[in-house]
Amino acid sequence: MKITTIILAAGKGTRMRSQLPKILHNIANKPLLQHVYDMSRQLTNNAIKIVYGHGADLVRETLKDLDVTWIEQQQQLGTGHAVQQVSHEITESDTVLILYGDVPLLKLATVEQLIVNVSDTSLALLTVDLLDPTGYGRIVRNAAGQVIKIVEEKDATPIEKQIIEGNTGILAVQGKHLKKWLSQLTNNNAQGEYYLTDIIEMAVADGVTILTTQPETIDEVLGVNNRIQLSHLERIYQLEQANRLMELGVTLIDPARFDLRGSIENLGVDIIIDVNVIIEGKNSIGNNVTIGANTSITNSIIADDVVILANCILDNAVVGKGSKIGPYARLRPETVLAENVHIGNFVELKKSSVAAFSKINHLSYIGDSTVGANVNIGAGTITCNYDGVNKFRTIIEDGAFIGSDTQLIAPVTIGKNATIGAGSTITKDSPENQLTLSRAKQISLAAWQRPVKLENQATGNKVLAETLIKDK
């Protein structure tokens, strides 16, 4: 079976009150329309057509990598009009699936269940029973329970308005039929729009049966019309992901305070994630990893037995087995830590590799550096890697010990097992096994006196002696 999926996405989304077209708003950092696309892409033998209109340039630019045919609907004259724009692209023998670009949580299983109901003599319609069907088209059935038409809220009689079975807008139908019915649509209704829903009555008139199915949960067919609904769907989506992770062996201290905006491609077991952790992009997390509260992890690889304490930021970083990070550590892009490395509080690393068992425990900036194994970098060490124009590398070889409050002016190499005295500014390579230090000699002045405060006769204020003298 060949499928043509038409995603309707031309609407403006006035109630979003946004300069961005509605379908470009995100759930889990991914545009609404991309969610619908990703789901339908999983159907085999499927050609996807997107009807777009509002924010046309931005939509095309933002989603330029989608494997679809873009069809512009310049004026939004209704859902039927939108599908008419695609009519010339529809092959008669195709099964045509209609989806909405602003209904992002629809599941593949629901669509698969829907499309099996399409045949020469049947149309598949996804409906939903609603506590409050306000705003939805109502599914009108005859005494035998067969669907005979859909009536829009604004065209419904008071009795029809009491129907709780709503139209989700999602349907599937044979191309041959759809093409015929599309050509017969009129805009003779309360809204003066071309309603796609009018094809239901035409189908019935042509002896085509309407077969309805319902999604497993209402959440799947909820649309986004404003930012309140957007946040509601975000939480539904996040809770679903959280549940999936817990099923796979992850402890989430509070699934309501966890956000995955991307994926964890390789996921270990016995991972413990504290509250307010945000994971973005593509990541890998090994076994027995603990992630502290308020930590943000983006496009990173974390090996087994890693402990990340609270308030850390990892961005495009690699953390080796058994390493300990934080609290308050920042691993910037291209940080690569080997096994059993310790990175402590207020330490920032960028474009640097650190070999096994090395420690950078307090208040340091290590950028553009290659740090060997068993290196100890003291508190307040700074690699001065940038002269305002160029970046230079610092190399710290195995076993080196960098005393606290040291500046390493790159390019510079600290030799194997070298020791740097605390408070040094190192501008030249430091040899292996030696103590190198650069510090002014310490002196003490026996005759020195502290300044004292005197009283200003005029004002009664205490002021420095020197100031009083100047005032005279």
Name the site residues for ligand UD1 (rule: CB under 6 A). 8-11, 51, 73, 76-79, 81-82, 100-102, 136-137, 150, 152, 166-169, 195-197, 223
The Cα 142–Cα 410 span in angstroms is 82
Cβ closest to ligand UD1, residue 217 vs residue 417: 217
Cβ closest to ligand UD1, residue 195 vs residue 357: 195
Taking CB atoms, the residue at the shortest distance from ligand UD1 is 137
The Cα 238–Cα 49 span in angstroms is 28
Give, in degrees to the nearest 5, the angle at Cα 400 between 392 and 420.
Answer: 80
The Cα 307–Cα 314 span in angstroms is 13
Q: Tell me the three state secondary structure of residue 140.
A: strand
The Cα 392–Cα 412 span in angstroms is 8
Cβ closest to Ca ion, residue 209 vs residue 229: 229
Cβ closest to ligand UD1, residue 236 vs residue 468: 236
Q: Which H/E stretch holds residue 412?
A: strand 412-414
* Nearest approach, Cβ of residue 371 and Ca ion (Å): 56
Binds 274, which of Ca ion, ligand UD1, none (CB < 5 to 8 A, cut-off by type)? Answer: none
* Nearest approach, Cβ of residue 103 and ligand UD1 (Å): 7
* Nearest approach, Cβ of residue 6 and ligand UD1 (Å): 9
Region 168-227 residues binding Ca ion, contact defined as CB under 5 A: 223
* Nearest approach, Cβ of residue 261 and ligand UD1 (Å): 23
362 is catalytic: yes
Binds 77, which of Ca ion, ligand UD1, none (CB < 5 to 8 A, cut-off by type)? Answer: ligand UD1
The Cα 343–Cα 309 span in angstroms is 10
The Cα 260–Cα 250 span in angstroms is 13
Interface pattern 223-252 for Ca ion (x via CB under 5 A):
x-----------------------------
* Nearest approach, Cβ of residue 225 and Ca ion (Å): 6
Contact present, 4 and 68 (Cβ < 8 Å): no
Cβ closest to ligand UD1, residue 36 vs residue 354: 36
Please tell me the count of residues contacting Ca ion according to CB under 5 A. Answer: 1
Q: Tell me the three state secondary structure of residue 116.
A: coil
341: which 2 tokens? 């490395």
Residues 6+ apart with CB under 8 A from 222: 103, 105, 229, 232, 233, 236
The Cα 312–Cα 325 span in angstroms is 8
88 secondary structure, DSSP code: G
The Cα 35–Cα 29 span in angstroms is 10
Q: Which H/E stretch holds residue 111?
A: helix 108-115
Amino acid at 390: N
* Nearest approach, Cβ of residue 224 and Ca ion (Å): 9
273: which 2 tokens? 């994630």
Cβ closest to Ca ion, residue 223 vs residue 322: 223
* Nearest approach, Cβ of residue 61 and ligand UD1 (Å): 18
The Cα 108–Cα 96 span in angstroms is 15
Radius of gyration of the chain (CA): 33
Cβ closest to ligand UD1, residue 15 vs residue 235: 15
Binds 78, which of Ca ion, ligand UD1, none (CB < 5 to 8 A, cut-off by type)? Answer: ligand UD1
Give the catalytic positions in this structure: 362
Residues that bind Ca ion (CB under 5 A): 223
